[in-house]
């Protein structure tokens, strides 16, 4: 339960060991490279490794593209669950061997990319032919080649004119010329809604005049030229397209043949990624001709082991020192098996900043407790727990972060089972409904504690009580932190004062008739305790009034005003406590919607169809209800932790520990023994 | 059927209607933003879907109060209760908080969710914080739900 203590590791080694040392550090993944300002010595050069880094990144990217293409033509069998499986572990031997033959695989990658390029070229070629076929369509009834010029005496002009019924029009226009042109044959090849395709045949001597007239009418040459007659041309084009398709098919098969190399390509892709990472670090290291230096953060518990290993294996000097007081060390959390499951939740709020302690342990109990209370249906809880347990057992190599989240839901599921039993919720009231509808018997499932829907007031009181405990724990933790910092004045004036004030107020409130009328609970404290309660409240209030403005020691008036303002915070406490009423609301929501589902299912009544209908409604309805309420419980549990609980003592804002490690995408590589 | 029953039924309708409308608008607003993000990066589907669902709870709270009301006045189990107009109006009044607050908070939670989806688009690792903003709006829906439930179950039929 803690933030791991960080130390500084400083390493000075020979350049001939550089590669090996960096490789080992990357494999260990336990050192965050970081240079203090004072460590930077003038005159030492850094190697410019940008080119190598970019080169490796580019190669990794190419391999990724090739994998994507492979997946398109030879899809890997995947299921939804595969995303849980995590990266496969590759043996060191296999890794060495594959990396040794990387050129081979890089060739395969390039070949795949080349083939894909050819496929897309061939595709656009086919599209071009297709386009030509379409342009050819109007000319299909032409039975001479399209590049025909004429005979010995005549000229043939092919072309299109916009508009319809142009044939007549052209003839008329030709006749109406100053010198009427005779002996012109105008023939319509095809008419569609935009244009008319024409063949015009005239005597060679009239050719120019005819062309002039036609041009004036907007006659343009056909957009497609060919030396064949259109029908033949169409056939040829179709042949071309078929050939393109055959070629594509061949390329595709070639790619599919390369699919066997998928695993190896994944491996070298990750190898390039790791190399890029190594060169990135190398670029940060100061070097002389024969030596290099490295500095960074390392968790205390592994520091000594790393130091010894490097010193033994290589000619290098490694030192471990404590961090400077002011240094803002990166944060790595370490908790017990149960609590570490909520580390992700803490991290999503913010890791502990410098000097703060890790709230994970204490939060984990409340988290699981509240989640179960909000979902509170034993059957739902069992489904979640069994599902998560199955995933955890089936996929031992699951990604660490995901593993923690699934573990968290496993525990939350167990807590849900517990609260479900306490409140008598098993798929809502399904036992009662089935008994009544299909067997004609009244079966009631007793709650171990009580049924919240029948006594919402009682549930509300307990929700607020749980909330109060949660909030007081938060305040106590604030006190603990202040004591740790030896801030006794702060502890008394910011923590003890509030405890006195709040507990006093609560003790005053409990025996009143007002409280009785709300909760139907009677408390009788006797005069001694009542007096004590009043004293506590007053003492607490006075401390707050006098002390909360202590940091601004200007005038007594301002200080008191600040105190009054701080006392006003009591409304903040009130709203914080009331916020826990969501425990009741969400718990009821699960139960009531489950009841609605059961009731809807039983509407058809006792018959074969009724049973089938019930089963369908039951499955769909409960899946929906479970989904939405798990989401609700998750969101609002987080909110109670983040806003109400953390609001009392925790700020967060630490920067996460980002060690120099193998950031692989597809595989994990077995560590060297 | 007595007038009281009519009032009570109007109450149940108000709870379901307005809260449901609020959620529909809210989920719709958030859904538009979510679609935009997924069109750029389908990998964020899971996260933005959760965000889109957040304003959906008001509708459920409305349903909850509606259901409790219906079972209270005996419309579900047969044997409808004989309600005086006063009792009917009381039930109607009890249903108002969740209906009206559900409407307004649903709409605004939808807008907040849409904005939070913007956070997810740019900084997906800030999911925890992004989720918090819409959850703040929901507090008021929960408070109104609480009062509606307490009031409906406190009314003697």
Query: What is the distance between the alpha carbons of residues A330 and A5, in angstroms, rounded to a whole number?
Result: 9
| A80 in any annotated domain | yes
Query: What is the distance between the alpha carbons of residues A257 and A264, in angstroms, rounded to a whole number?
Result: 14
Residues A309, A20: contact at Cβ < 8 Å?
no
Distance (Å) from the C-alpha of residue A118 to the closest C-alpha of chain B? 28
Query: What is the distance between the alpha carbons of residues A12 and A429, in angstroms, rounded to a whole number?
Result: 70
* Contact yes or no for A349 and B150 at CB 8 A: no
Q: Does B136 touch chain A (CB under 8 A)?
A: yes
- Spell out which residues of chain B touch residue A347, defining contact as CB-CB under 8 Å: 128
Q: How many CB atoms lie within 10 A of CB A308?
A: 11
Residue in the structure block whose two tokens are 């930077």: A40
Residues A14 and A89 in one domain: yes
Alpha helices in A424-547 (DSSP H): 430-438, 456-484, 488-490, 497-509, 513-519, 526-547
* CATH number, domain with residue B138: 1.20.120.610
Of A460, A592, A631, the CB nearest to B50: A631
Query: What is the distance between the alpha carbons of residues A396 and A131, in angstroms, rounded to a whole number?
Result: 55
Q: Does B151 touch chain A (CB under 8 A)?
A: no
DSSP string, A298-342: EEHHHHHHHHHHHHHHSSEEEEEEPPPTT----B-EE--TTGGGG
Count: domains in chain A: 2
Query: Which one is predicted more confidently, A130 or A518?
Result: A130
Residues A661, A261: contact at Cβ < 8 Å?
no
| A32 in any annotated domain | yes
Average pLDDT over residues A618-631: 93
pLDDT recorded at residue A185: 83
| The last residue of a domain, from among A193, A221, A249 | A221
* Contact yes or no for B76 and A643 at CB 8 A: no
Query: What is the distance between the alpha carbons of residues A15 and A289, in angstroms, rounded to a whole number?
Result: 8
- Spell out which residues of chain B touch residue A590, defining contact as CB-CB under 8 Å: none
Helix (H) or strand (E) holding A317: strand A316-321
Mutate to test the interface with B, among A581, A603, A624 (most CBs of B within 10 A): A581
Query: What is the distance between the alpha carbons of residues A605 and A611, in angstroms, rounded to a whole number?
Result: 8
pLDDT at position B96 over 60: yes
Query: What is the distance between the alpha carbons of residues A174 and A202, in angstroms, rounded to a whole number?
Result: 11
Q: Give me chain A's average pLDDT, please.
A: 88
pLDDT recorded at residue B78: 64
* Contact yes or no for A635 and B150 at CB 8 A: no
Q: Which two tokens stand for residue A667?
A: 């595989």
Which residue in B143, B146, B131, B119 sits closest to B55, CA to CA? B131
pLDDT recorded at residue A555: 77
| A178 in any annotated domain | yes
Range of the domain at B9: 3-154
pLDDT recorded at residue A371: 96
Mutate to test the interface with A, among B131, B140, B147, B152 (most CBs of A within 10 A): B131
Distance (Å) from the C-alpha of residue A81 to the closest C-alpha of chain B? 15
Sign of torsion over alpha carbons A23, A27, A29, A31: negative
Residues A13 and A90 in one domain: yes
* Contact yes or no for A628 and B150 at CB 8 A: no
Of A578, A593, A638, the CB nearest to B60: A593
DSSP string, A87-135: PPEEPHHHHHHHHHTHHHHHHHHHHHHHHHHHHHHHHHHHHHHHHHHHH
Q: How much of chain A, in percent, has pLDDT values that exceed 90?
A: 44
pLDDT recorded at residue A169: 78
Count: domains in chain B: 1
Of the pLDDT bands very low, low, confident and very high (cuts 50, 70, 90), residue A558 is confident
| A23 in any annotated domain | yes
pLDDT at position B79 over 90: no
Cβ pairs bridging A and B (under 8 Å): 72
Phi first, then psi, for residue A29 (nearest 5°) are: 60, 40
Q: Does B77 touch chain A (CB under 8 A)?
A: no
* Contact yes or no for A628 and B68 at CB 8 A: no
pLDDT at position A307 over 90: yes
User: Using beta carbons and an 8 Å cutoff, which residues of A are at the interface with B?
Assistant: 345, 347-349, 453, 456-457, 460, 578-579, 581-582, 584-586, 588-589, 592-593, 595-596, 599, 628, 631-632, 635-636, 638-639, 642-643
Which residue in A140, A136, A118 sits closest to A237, CA to CA? A136
DSSP string, A368-398: HHHHHHHH--HHHHHHHHHHHHHHHHH-TT-
Exposed (0-12), middle (13-18) or buried (19+): which is A567, by Cβ within 10 Å? middle
Query: What is the distance between the alpha carbons of residues B46 and B60, in angstroms, rounded to a whole number?
Result: 21
Chain A: residue whose CA lies nearest to B49: A631
Sign of torsion over alpha carbons B54, B59, B62, B67: negative
Q: What Rg do the C-alpha atoms of chain B give, in angstroms?
A: 18
Of A348, A460, A589, the CB nearest to B128: A348
pLDDT recorded at residue B45: 86
Query: What is the distance between the alpha carbons of residues A82 and A285, in angstroms, rounded to a whole number?
Result: 40
Range of the domain at A314: 2-100+262-321
Residues A9 and A96 in one domain: yes
Q: Residues of B numbered 42-61 whose beta carbons fall under 8 angstroms of chain A's beta carbons: which are they?
A: 50, 53-54, 56-57, 60-61
Q: Residues of B numbered 9-48 whose beta carbons fall under 8 angstroms of chain A's beta carbons: which are they?
A: none
Cite the beta strand spans of A585-673 per DSSP E: 668-669
* CATH number, domain with residue A205: 3.30.70.2750
Residues A81 and A160 in one domain: no
Of the pLDDT bands very low, low, confident and very high (cuts 50, 70, 90), residue A673 is low
Of A456, A586, A632, the CB nearest to B153: A456
Query: What is the distance between the alpha carbons of residues A176 and A169, in angstroms, rounded to a whole number?
Result: 11
Range among A73-87, A103-117, A155-169, A221-235 rated most confident: A103-117
Of B64, B128, B129, the CB nearest to A589: B64
Chain B: residue whose CA lies nearest to A583: B142
Query: What is the distance between the alpha carbons of residues A604 and A583, in angstroms, rounded to a whole number?
Result: 34
Which residues make beta-bridge pairs with A669?
A: A90
- Spell out which residues of chain A touch residue B68, defining contact as CB-CB under 8 Å: 453, 592
| A111 in any annotated domain | no
pLDDT recorded at residue A455: 84
Strands A668-669 and A89-90: parallel
Size of chain B, expressed as the number of residues it contains: 157
| A548 in any annotated domain | no
Q: Is A154 left (phi over 0), alpha (psi -120 to 50) or beta?
A: beta
Q: pLDDT digit string (tens) for A195-212?
A: 888 888 888 888 888 888
Q: Does B132 touch chain A (CB under 8 A)?
A: yes
Residues A84 and A9 in one domain: yes
* Contact yes or no for A581 and B146 at CB 8 A: yes
Residues B121, B44: contact at Cβ < 8 Å?
yes
Distance (Å) from the C-alpha of residue A387 to the closest C-alpha of chain B? 19
Residues A641, A367: contact at Cβ < 8 Å?
yes
Of the pLDDT bands very low, low, confident and very high (cuts 50, 70, 90), residue A31 is very high
* Contact yes or no for B57 and A632 at CB 8 A: yes
Which residues make beta-bridge pairs with A191?
A: A196
Give the least confident one: A163-167, A191-195, A400-404, A483-487.
A163-167
Indicate the SS3 state at residue A226: coil
pLDDT at position A299 over 90: yes
| A404 in any annotated domain | no
Of B57, B76, B135, the CB nearest to A599: B76
- Spell out which residues of chain A touch residue B61, defining contact as CB-CB under 8 Å: 585, 589
Helix A570-579 with A581-601: angle, nearest 10 deg: 20
Query: Which one is predicted more confidently, A613 or A79?
Result: A613
pLDDT recorded at residue A504: 93
Q: How much of chain A, in percent, has pLDDT values that exceed 70?
A: 99
Q: Which two tokens stand for residue A204?
A: 């060679």
* Contact yes or no for B129 and A349 at CB 8 A: yes
Of B53, B125, B143, the CB nearest to A631: B53
Of the pLDDT bands very low, low, confident and very high (cuts 50, 70, 90), residue B127 is confident
Q: pLDDT digit string (tens) for A128-171?
A: 999 999 888 888 888 888 888 888 888 888 888 887 666 777 77
Query: What is the distance between the alpha carbons of residues A299 and A6, in angstroms, rounded to a whole number?
Result: 4
| A121 in any annotated domain | no
Residues A388, A416: contact at Cβ < 8 Å?
no
What does the longest C-alpha to C-alpha distance in chain A come to? Answer: 133
Residue in the structure block whose two tokens are 């009591």: A570
Query: What is the distance between the alpha carbons of residues A350 and A651, in angstroms, rounded to a whole number?
Result: 8
| The last residue of a domain, from among A276, A296, A321 | A321
| The last residue of a domain, from among A189, A221, A253 | A221
Distance (Å) from the C-alpha of residue B16 to the closest C-alpha of chain A? 13
Q: Does B126 touch chain A (CB under 8 A)?
A: yes
């Amino acid at each position: 339960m803690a933030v791991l203590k960080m130390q500084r590791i400083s390493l000075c080694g020979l350049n001939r060991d550089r590669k090996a040392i960096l490789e080992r550090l990357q494999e260990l993944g336990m050192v965050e490279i970081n240079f203090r300002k004072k460590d930077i010595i003038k005159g030492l050069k850094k190697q410019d490794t940008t080119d190598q880094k970019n080169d490796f990144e580019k190669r990794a990217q190419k391999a990724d593209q090739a994998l994507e293409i492979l997946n398109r033509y030879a899809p890997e069998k995947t299921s939804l669950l595969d995303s849980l499986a995590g990266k496969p572990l590759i043996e060191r031997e296999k890794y060495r061997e594959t990396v040794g033959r990387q050129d081979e695989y890089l060739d395969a990658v390039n070949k795949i990319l080349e083939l894909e390029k050819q496929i897309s070229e061939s595709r656009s070629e086919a599209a071009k032919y297709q386009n030509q076929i379409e342009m050819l369509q109007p000319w299909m009834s032409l039975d001479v080649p399209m590049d025909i010029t004429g005979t010995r005496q005549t000229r043939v002009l092919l072309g299109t004119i916009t508009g319809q019924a142009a044939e007549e029009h052209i003839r008329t226009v030709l006749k109406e010329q100053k010198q009427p042109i005779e002996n012109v044959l105008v023939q319509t090849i095809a008419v569609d809604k935009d244009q008319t395709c024409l063949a015009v045949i005239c005597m060679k001597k009239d050719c120019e005049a005819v062309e002039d007239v036609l041009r004036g009418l907007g006659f343009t040459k056909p957009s497609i030229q060919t030396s064949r007659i259109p029908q033949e041309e169409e056939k040829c084009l179709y042949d071309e397209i078929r050939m393109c398709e055959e070629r594509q098919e061949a390329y595709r098969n070639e790619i599919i043949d390369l699919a066997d190399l998928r695993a190896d390509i994944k491996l070298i892709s990750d190898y390039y990624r790791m190399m890029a990472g190594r060169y990135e670090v190398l670029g940060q290291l100061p070097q002389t001709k024969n030596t290099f230096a490295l500095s960074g953060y390392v968790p205390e518990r592994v520091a000594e082991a790393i130091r010894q290993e490097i010193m033994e294996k290589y000619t290098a000097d490694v030192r471990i020192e404590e961090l400077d007081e002011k240094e803002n060390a990166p944060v790595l959390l370490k908790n017990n098996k149960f609590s570490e499951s909520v580390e992700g939740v803490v991290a999503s709020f913010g890791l502990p900043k410098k000097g703060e302690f890790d709230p994970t342990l204490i939060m984990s109990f409340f988290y699981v407790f509240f989640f179960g209370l909000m979902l509170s249906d034993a059957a739902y809880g069992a489904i979640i727990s069994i599902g998560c347990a199955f995933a955890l057992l089936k996929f031992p190599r699951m990604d660490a972060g995901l593993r923690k989240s699934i573990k968290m839901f496993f525990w939350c599921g167990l807590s849900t089972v517990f609260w479900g039993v306490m409140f008598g919720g098993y798929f809502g009231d399904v036992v009662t409904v089935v008994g009544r509808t299909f067997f004609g018997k009244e079966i009631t499932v007793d709650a171990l504690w009580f049924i919240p829907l029948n006594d919402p007031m009682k549930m509300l009181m307990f929700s607020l009580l749980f909330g109060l405990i949660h909030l007081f724990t938060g305040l106590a933790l604030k006190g603990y932190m202040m004591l740790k910092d030896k801030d006794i004045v702060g502890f008394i004036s910011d923590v003890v004062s509030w405890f006195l004030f709040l507990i006093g107020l609560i003790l005053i409130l409990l025996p009143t008739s007002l409280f009785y009328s709300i909760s139907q609970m009677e408390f009788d404290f006797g005069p001694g305790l009542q007096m004590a309660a009043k004293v506590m409240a007053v003492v607490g209030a006075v401390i707050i009034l006098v002390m909360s403005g202590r940091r601004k020691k200007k005038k007594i008036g301002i200080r008191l005003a600040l105190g009054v303002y701080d006392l006003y915070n009591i409304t903040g406490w009130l709203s914080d406590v009331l916020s826990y009423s969501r425990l009741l609301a969400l718990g009821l929501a699960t139960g009531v919607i489950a009841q609605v589902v059961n009731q809807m299912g039983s509407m058809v009544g006792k018959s074969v169809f009724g049973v089938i209908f019930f089963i369908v409604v039951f499955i769909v309805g409960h899946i929906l209800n479970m989904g939405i309420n798990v989401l609700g419980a998750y969101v609002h549990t987080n909110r109670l932790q983040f806003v109400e609980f953390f609001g009392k003592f925790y700020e967060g804002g630490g920067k996460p520990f980002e060690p120099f490690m193998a950031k692989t995408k597809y595989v994990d590589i077995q560590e060297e023994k | 059927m007595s007038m009281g029953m009519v009032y009570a039924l109007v109450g149940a309708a108000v709870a379901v209607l307005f809260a449901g409308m609020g959620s529909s608008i809210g989920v719709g607003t958030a859904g538009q933003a979510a679609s935009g993000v997924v069109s750029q990066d389908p990998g964020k589907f899971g996260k933005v879907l959760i965000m889109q669902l957040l304003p959906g709870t008001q509708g459920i709270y409305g349903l909850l109060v509606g259901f409790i009301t219906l079972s209270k006045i005996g419309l579900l189990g047969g044997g409808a209760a004989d309600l005086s107009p006063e009792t009917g109006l009381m039930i109607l009044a009890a249903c108002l908080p969740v209906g009206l607050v559900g409407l307004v908070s649903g709409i605004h939670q939808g807008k907040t969710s849409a904005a939070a989806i913007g956070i997810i688009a740019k900084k997906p690792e800030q999911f925890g914080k992004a989720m918090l903003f819409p959850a703040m709006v929901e507090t008021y829906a929960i408070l109104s739900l609480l009062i509606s439930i307490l009031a409906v179950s406190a009314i003697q039929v």
